[in-house]
Amino acid sequence: MKDAIFSLNGKETVYQPGQTVLEAARAAGVNIPTLCYLKDTTPTGACRICLVEIAGARTLMAACSTPVAAGMEVFTETDRVHNARRLNVELLLSSGRHDCMICERNGDCRLQDLAYYYGIKEMRFPQDQDFYPTEEENPFIVRDFTRCIRCGRCIQACNELVVNRAISYGYRGKDSKVVTGGDGPYLGSECVFCGQCVEVCPVGALTEKKARGKARAWETQKIRTTCPYCGVGCQQWLHVKDGRITKVTAVEDGEPNMGRLCVKGRFGYDFIYSEDRLKTPLIRENGSFREASWDEALDLVAGKFKEIIAKEGPDAIAGVSCARSINEDSYQMQKLFRAVIGTNNIDHCART
């Protein structure tokens, strides 16, 4: 069989049957800008940013939802394409309150990037003024409708990536809005606060409430780690500024979660900063605890263990390791019990 070939900016390019123009172009190293496109979900063609010119087609086509056909001639960087994309960016800018300076996503916003790269110098169109009120009545997610570009990524993510099916499009035309069932706030709806909608929102319409005002995107360092809760082992980015986690997002191509997190993995990180943390060794004395140095506490433990081994034998000591802590800690604890104390009385809650 002949290889499937199409022409991309005048160059013969191989594609996999079934690929969209966007996928084939990206595979060939040609970048096409997108806003609403969301990997692994049904393309919606909502934003018209990915427009390309196809020889023989009357109008420009959305690369994200047009399948490649053999022999197709596609142009991604013509003047016509540029003008159309720029116009669409301008329309999106005017559709909301895009005063970037006071937006949480400043510096990490796809619309801002597009406005910059398409050289937009001024707001040519009057800005919409009539917005739905911002919703903050929950602990984790701020819904700022003034910045929503109605790209629908949140809806795609909620319905197709995490399949929580909590949100959809509501109302028509200029009034259109992302709604929960019954258009109530997230709190009290089907929403389970996984924050996947926040993760995929390209602009500042959905943001993490706990992260607000904590750090600008360019001030943080991203550290990859593994979620501390259940046994799925989701891969996370910790966004860290000055040694403090400001928010947590998912590693997009990380196995096994491939860009997903749940409510605990995404929002349950700040326990480490709790005032309740144990900060010094404690020794019980006359019925209450007093602070102690490491030397004193460790000497006491080692001394007491030696005494009990001498008197009762090593099997009078038993230990439970922690199924939440790292492998190396469990290894070290069983080694302490087996090699130093001399007993196999080591277990952990393998069964809960």
Partner 1 sequence: MTNSFRDFAKAKMILVIGSNMTEAHPVAASLLKMAVIGGAEMIVVDPRRTPLVDLANLHVQIKVGSDVAFLNGVMHVLIAEDIYDKKYVESCTVGFEELKQKVLEYTPERAAAISGVDADTIRTVARRLAANRPAMLMYTLGITEHTCGVDNVMSCANLQMLLGNVGFECGGVNPLRGQNNVQGACDMGALPNVFPGYQRVDNPQAREKFAAAWKVERLPEKPGLMIPQMIDGLLDGKVKAFYVFGENLANTEPDIRHVERCLGAAEFLVCQDIFPTETTRFAHVVLPAAAWSENDGTFTSSERRVNRVRTASAPPGEAKPNWWIFKEIARRMGHVWESDSARELWDNEISQLAPSLAGIKYFRLEGNGLQWPAPSLEHEGTPYLHKDGCFTCGLGVLKAIDWRPPAETPDEEYPLVLSTGRRLYHYHTRTQTGRSEGLNVLLGEETADISETDADRYGIADGETIAVRSRRGRVAVKARVTPQVPPGMVWMAFHFREGCANWLTNPVYDPITLTAEYKACAVAVEKIA
Query: What residues line the site for ligand FES (CB under 6 A)?
Result: 34-37, 45-50, 62, 64
Q: Is 301 helix (H, G, I), strand (E, B) or coil?
A: helix
Alpha-carbon gap, residue 117 to 86, rounded angstroms: 9
Residue 185 within binding range of partner 1, rule CB under 8 A: no
Size of the site for ligand SF4 (CB under 6 A): 37
Tell me the β-bridge partners of 221: 240
Q: Which of 278, 286, 287, 310 binds partner 1 (CB under 8 A)?
A: 278
Give the Å distances, CA to CA, from 234 to 76, 198, 226, 322: 36, 17, 6, 19
Residue 288 within binding range of partner 1, rule CB under 8 A: no
Q: What angle in degrees, to the nearest 10, is found between the helix axes of 79-94 and 110-117?
A: 130
The secondary structure of 233-293 as a DSSP string is --EEEEEEETTEEEEEEE-TT-TTTTT---HHHHHTTGGGG-TT---S-EEEETTEEEE--
Q: Which of 103, 148, 161, 167 binds partner 1 (CB under 8 A)?
A: 161
Residue 166 within binding range of ligand SF4, rule CB under 6 A: yes
- In the numeric block, the tokens 């809806």 are attached to 155
Q: Pattern 126-145, binding to partner 1, x per CB under 8 A?
A: ------------xxx-----
Residue 38 within binding range of ligand SF4, rule CB under 6 A: no
Residue 230 within binding range of ligand SF4, rule CB under 6 A: yes
Residue 219 within binding range of partner 1, rule CB under 8 A: no
Q: Which of 30, 167, 211, 251 binds ligand SF4 (CB under 6 A)?
A: 167
Q: Which of 234, 245, 251, 341 binds ligand SF4 (CB under 6 A)?
A: 234
Compute the Cα dihedral for 18, 34, 209, 170 and give only its sign: negative
First to last CA, the chain: 55
Q: Which of 55, 70, 123, 326 binds partner 1 (CB under 8 A)?
A: 326
Q: Which of 157, 211, 251, 341 binds ligand SF4 (CB under 6 A)?
A: 157
Q: Which of 12, 134, 301, 310 binds partner 1 (CB under 8 A)?
A: 301
Q: Which has the closest alpha carbon to 141: 197, 59, 218, 188?
A: 197
- Residues 258-277 close enough to bind ligand SF4 by CB under 6 A: 261-262, 264-265
Q: Which has the closest alpha carbon to 124: 147, 148, 94?
A: 94
Residue 349 within binding range of partner 1, rule CB under 8 A: yes
Q: Which of 34, 146, 196, 246 binds ligand SF4 (CB under 6 A)?
A: 196
